[in-house]
């Protein structure tokens, strides 16, 4: 083989490597987007359950107006959040507000006996578990993407095609890291 053939083979190998690395980034970015969509679906489900829960508890604890207002405010802020950081803050607010609603419910044994309330609690608990799983899936994909962006030689491709690191979905409040506890 002559030198021209070797150059052609080397250039071909580099092109194949660049295409493969680029496609790897695209795959990771799409998996991260899919994981984020999963989080948003579960958060939406949670936010849809909140008004039903509030109305159920409200009938038993009419004097707990501030707790109901804080849940409503937290839900509204969460629905309006756009970025990962805004979602984190809003999610922390919703979690805290829900804990106050469940604390109120514990003071009313007759409320805990109402079938619609227990079904809402079960759905919310299931949703909280799904949100945690979706967060783990998202953060795993973000970790993989960010690692590939930072490691050599992937950082060369990432820089050339302007691939950006993603933010992890983290909970700042230690209490919010625990799922909402449902006690009977």
Q: List Cα–Cα distances, 71 to 18, 57, 139, 177, in angstroms.
A: 50, 12, 27, 18
Q: With 90 as the cut, is the pLDDT of residue 16 above it?
A: yes
- Residue 159: phi, psi to the nearest 5? -70, -40
For residues 49, 78, 106 and 130, what is the CA-based torsion angle, rounded to 10 degrees?
60
Report the mean per-residue pLDDT for the chain.
83
The half-sphere exposure of 82 on its side-chain side, counting CA atoms within 13 A, is 0
Res. 31 pLDDT band, cuts 50 70 90: very high
Give the per-residue pLDDT at 184. 38
- The CA distance from 134 to 43, in Å, is 10
Question: What tens digit of pLDDT does each residue of 68-114 get?
Answer: 788 888 888 888 888 888 888 888 888 888 888 777 777 777 776 67
Question: What tens digit of pLDDT does each residue of 111-132 get?
Answer: 766 777 788 888 888 888 898 8
Question: What tens digit of pLDDT does each residue of 148-161 get?
Answer: 999 898 888 899 99
Which are the contacts of 38, defined by CB distance < 8 A and separation ≥ 6? 134, 137, 138
The two three-digit tokens of residue 51, written as one number: 């008004």
Give the per-residue pLDDT at 173. 54
Res. 61 pLDDT band, cuts 50 70 90: low
CATH topology of domain 3-177: de novo design (two linked rop proteins) (1.20.1440)
């Amino acid at each position: 083989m002559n030198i021209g053939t070797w150059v052609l083979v080397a250039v071909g190998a580099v092109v194949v490597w660049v295409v493969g690395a680029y496609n790897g980034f695209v795959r990771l970015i799409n998996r991260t987007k899919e994981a984020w969509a999963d989080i948003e679906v579960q958060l939406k489900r949670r936010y849809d359950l909140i008004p039903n829960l509030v109305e159920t508890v409200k009938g038993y604890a009419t004097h707990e107006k501030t707790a109901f207002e804080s849940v409503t405010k937290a839900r509204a802020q969460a629905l309006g959040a756009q970025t990962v950081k805004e979602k984190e803050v809003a999610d922390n607010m919703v979690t805290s507000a829900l804990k106050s609603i469940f604390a109120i419910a514990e003071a009313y044994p007759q409320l805990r006996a109402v079938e619609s309330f227990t079904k809402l609690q079960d759905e919310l608990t299931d949703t909280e578990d799904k949100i945690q799983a979706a967060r783990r899936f998202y953060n795993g994909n973000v970790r993989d993407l960010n690692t590939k962006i930072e490691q050599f030689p992937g950082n060369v491709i990432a820089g050339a095609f302007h691939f950006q690191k993603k933010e992890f979905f983290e909970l700042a409040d230690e209490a919010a890291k625990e799922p909402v506890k449902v006690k009977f």
